[in-house]
Structure 1
Amino acid sequence: MTHQPCVLFLITEDWYFWSHRLDLAKAIRDAGMEVLVVTRVQDHGARIEKEGFRLIPIRMRRRNRQPLRELLSVLELVRIYRREQPDLVHHVAMKPMLYGSIAARLAGVPAVVNAFAGLGYAFITDHQSAKVLRFLIGRALRWALALPRSRVIVQNDVDREQLIRDGIVQPIQVSVIRGVGVDTTAFAPSPEPTGPLVVLLGARMLWDKGVGEFVEAMRKLKARGLDLRGVLVGMVDEDNPACISQEQLRSWQATSVVEWWGRRDDMPRVLASAHVVVLPSYREGLPKVLLEAAACARPIVATDVPGCREIVQDGRNGLLVPPRDAGALAEAINTLVQDQAMRLRMGARGREIVTREFSAEQVARETLAVYRELLER
């Protein structure tokens, strides 16, 4: 009987697996591999199990300052890896990569994939504390990622070049797989809605997603008398140092500058209600919300930073603006608000680009190729 390879996903949050890795996990299963999901279970555990995946809850959190609990998290992973004996583990994001790689060494896991979702807070912020953190993380990653039968996946060429330049990885170790892909059937074009134009920012509510600049841009546009609705869609992420508080979000909403819809799991419907999608982030891996927006044939305004410019071709399927510049953001939004023909033209081109270059099927093919290379060594 042929051995069925077992792939174990380690991800800190169940909602992140559901929103960003579910399509990939299904493709891996369809390719004849068993899939285990190891994550902190909050709201999506039952749905993950209903999809047919075995779920193993853990206590690890992204932000924890208690060294004993961090040590216990590593030991918990070692026990799971030794008990389950996966053929390959796929770690997603910073803490799973660090702790999971330690556990994989100690448990003797044959093959490891470490996937950056983006370089994260420490690589975005120029605060002194972030620079110290970046140095420490770089040292830790250099050791953690140096497993003999492993591969590092990043989502854009700029992140790859930075990791190589900083001496964290060797060129032969790292592959670029552009994003997590998008289901172009679920995310499909629809006519523009009637009524006031909706300008939507979809992301976790973090300062480094450019939420503050978006609010200021909407304030400027409304001061001109434009009939617009600025909408924020996304969760408050208290485990992230750049978190925007619920109090701040409610304060903005109370002044009618923007609406905050919170976390939504019906993103095709949400995007269908929008006319323009905005992401003024300071840096990204490759943002899924922009892939989804383009698949829905919505024009995009984004910042000219790594990750965003991999999706947005300035003047073709959207407009690029400098980061941290609310004035430029407002002008770009206004350009699209005033020109329906441009919105429709850019939306159609965005759909073409995503279908050709960023489908979930393509990402799955590229990821499975990495798996097979490691498993066949």
Structure 2
Amino acid sequence: MKFVFFANTDWYLYNFRLSTALRLKADGHEVVMLSPPGTFGARFAEHGCRWIPLTMDRASLNPLREVVTLYRVVRVLRRERPDLLHNFTVKCAIYGALAGRVARVAAIVNAVAGLGFVFTSETAKARMLRPLVKLLLHATLDSKRSLLILQNPDDATAFVAAGLISQENIRVIRSSGVNTTRFQPRQPHHPHERLRVLLAARLLREKGVQEFVDAAALLRKQGRDIEFLLAGTPDPGNPHSISPEQVQAWADDGVVRWLGHVDDMAGLLTTVHVMALPSYYREGVPKSLIEGAACGLALITTDMPGCREVVTRDGVDGLRVEPRNAQALAACIAKLDDNRELLSRLGDRARQRALKDFDERLVIQRTVDVYTELLHPLDGTAAALRPSP
């Protein structure tokens, strides 16, 4: 069988969906990656996956340009003739579902990790787009030959309540998974070594980046010797991205150490103690949190959709902090700096949870089960999607 994975960046497909593609390839199926051009696209060939670059502007509002983009997707699908199309992110879900119908793709899976800018922002642009996006989602998602994968129950409730899709067409798969063999705890930290705190994410304001920097400044003023690391790059396609100049200014002031994009995240995580994500964004299930959990780091996050799927109980498998509250974040970090036994205990609990709920082998199998449900609706078991002969 042939599968096409369609996303709005090659970075996303490479970092979040390559493992699923490799599982399908190992079973004898063909996987084609489809995304706008980027620096990660060429890497797919190293893994035996074909990549098709697609000209597409993530932030465009030009109707003519969007029609041309939709036509390009239809053309690719008609040429490739996949058995199943898997679309990622809201825009690709809409365009992929529409194009898939025109190209007569038999089975379509749409995956949305978080509700995204249009639904979470209160800017004039977001409010203007929201009714149109809702209309398009309602028209494209609720189909007999498609299913929607969401990463947390809060989003499932929100989609149904908004009338976008019926409950029976939703499947909840928590996270895109983490390789718990590659992401493992390091040797025990020395109890008196300098605390190192990491925020790893796209550098968007809603991820709590400003609060992270403000907390670092507060603790430095208190005389604490704590290192704050920021991994990630600005996202020019998102209107809430922090500018590179602003991030560089923070680094130049010595408030944080900016690492930029990190290829070896597993290696970086063996050098830190705490993963912080003080997000006030409707996440799916944040990749940085589950990677930190797999490495046995103490987690600090908020009680926001997606984040609460990883830190389920404050003080048990991580710490929860009030959104948009740098003082509260600083207090949580100081607490871990003072109590290394708590730091270790939270890390151990996080690792246990990662093994139980977020191991990518479990997530991939649940995803393959969704493919099976669409491709072989009468079989009713995951065994229906067997390796090709």
TM-score by length of 1: 0.96
Structure 2 residue aligned with 1:267 = 265
Structure 1 residue aligned with 2:87 = 91
Match of 1:22 among 12, 18, 21: 18
Q: Does 2:253 correspond to 1:255?
A: yes
Structure 2 residue aligned with 1:66 = 62
Conservation of the 8 A alpha-carbon contact between 1:192 and 1:272: no
- Alpha-carbon offset, residue 46 of structure 1: 2.3
Alignment of 1:214-293 (within 5 A): 214-282=212-280, 283-293=282-292
Distance 2:150 2:202 in 1: 20
Q: Does 2:51 correspond to 1:55?
A: yes
Residues 116-165 of structure 1: CA deviation (Å, up to 9, x unaligned): 02111122223344233222211111011123200000000000000000
Structure 1 residue aligned with 2:75 = 79
- Alpha-carbon offset, residue 192 of structure 1: 5.3
Conservation of the 8 A alpha-carbon contact between 1:198 and 1:228: yes
Residues 183-209 of structure 1: CA deviation (Å, up to 9, x unaligned): 001101103566532111000000010
Instruction: Give, as a single letter, the amino acid of the residue that structure 1 aligns with 2:349.
Output: R
Conservation of the 8 A alpha-carbon contact between 2:211 and 2:325: yes
Structure 2 residue aligned with 1:322 = 322
Segment of structure 1 superposing worse, 252-261 or 107-116 = 252-261
Structure 1 residue aligned with 2:380 = none
Q: Does 2:301 correspond to 1:302?
A: yes
Conservation of the 8 A alpha-carbon contact between 2:175 and 2:287: yes
Instruction: Give, as a single letter, the amino acid of the residue that structure 2 aligns with 1:371.
Output: Y
Structure 1 residue aligned with 2:118 = 122
Conservation of the 8 A alpha-carbon contact between 1:281 and 1:323: yes
Matched residue of 1:229: which SS? strand
Distance 1:15 1:344 in 2: 33
Distance 1:126 1:70 in 2: 23
Segment of structure 1 superposing worse, 8-17 or 32-41 = 32-41
- Alpha-carbon offset, residue 250 of structure 1: 1.0
Residues 292-334 of structure 1: CA deviation (Å, up to 9, x unaligned): 0010000000011010110013211210111111111111111
Structure 1 residue aligned with 2:387 = none
- Alpha-carbon offset, residue 52 of structure 1: 0.5
Q: How many residues align?
A: 373
- How many percent identity over aligned positions? 41
Match of 1:184 among 174, 180, 183: 180
Segment of structure 1 superposing worse, 21-30 or 207-216 = 21-30
Conservation of the 8 A alpha-carbon contact between 1:201 and 1:231: yes
Structure 2 residue aligned with 1:107 = 103
Distance 1:331 1:37 in 2: 44
Structure 2 residue aligned with 1:213 = 211
Distance 1:187 1:258 in 2: 24
Instruction: Give, as a single letter, the amino acid of the residue that structure 2 aligns with 1:325.
Output: N
Instruction: Give, as a single letter, the amino acid of the residue that structure 2 aligns with 1:9.
Output: F
RMSD: 1.3
Matched residue of 1:12: which SS? coil
Conservation of the 8 A alpha-carbon contact between 1:193 and 1:274: no
Matched residue of 2:198: which SS? strand
Match of 2:163 among 167, 176, 200: 167
Distance 1:191 1:76 in 2: 50
Residues 208-250 of structure 1: CA deviation (Å, up to 9, x unaligned): 1010111111111111100011111001100011100001101
Instruction: Give, as a single letter, the amino acid of the residue that structure 2 aligns with 1:203.
Output: A
Q: Does 2:331 correspond to 1:331?
A: yes
List alignment gaps of at least 5 residues for structure 1: none
Conservation of the 8 A alpha-carbon contact between 1:205 and 1:243: yes
Conservation of the 8 A alpha-carbon contact between 2:293 and 2:350: yes
Matched residue of 1:368: which SS? helix
Instruction: Give, as a single letter, the amino acid of the residue that structure 2 aligns with 1:48.
Output: F
Conservation of the 8 A alpha-carbon contact between 1:192 and 1:275: no
Conservation of the 8 A alpha-carbon contact between 2:228 and 2:255: yes
Matched residue of 2:319: which SS? strand
TM-score by length of 2: 0.93
Distance 1:229 1:155 in 2: 32
Distance 1:61 1:145 in 2: 22
Structure 2 residue aligned with 1:346 = 346
Matched residue of 2:346: which SS? helix
Residues 37-83 of structure 1: CA deviation (Å, up to 9, x unaligned): 11123111221111011111111131123332221111111011111
List alignment gaps of at least 5 residues for structure 2: 378-389
Matched residue of 2:55: which SS? coil
Matched residue of 1:309: which SS? helix
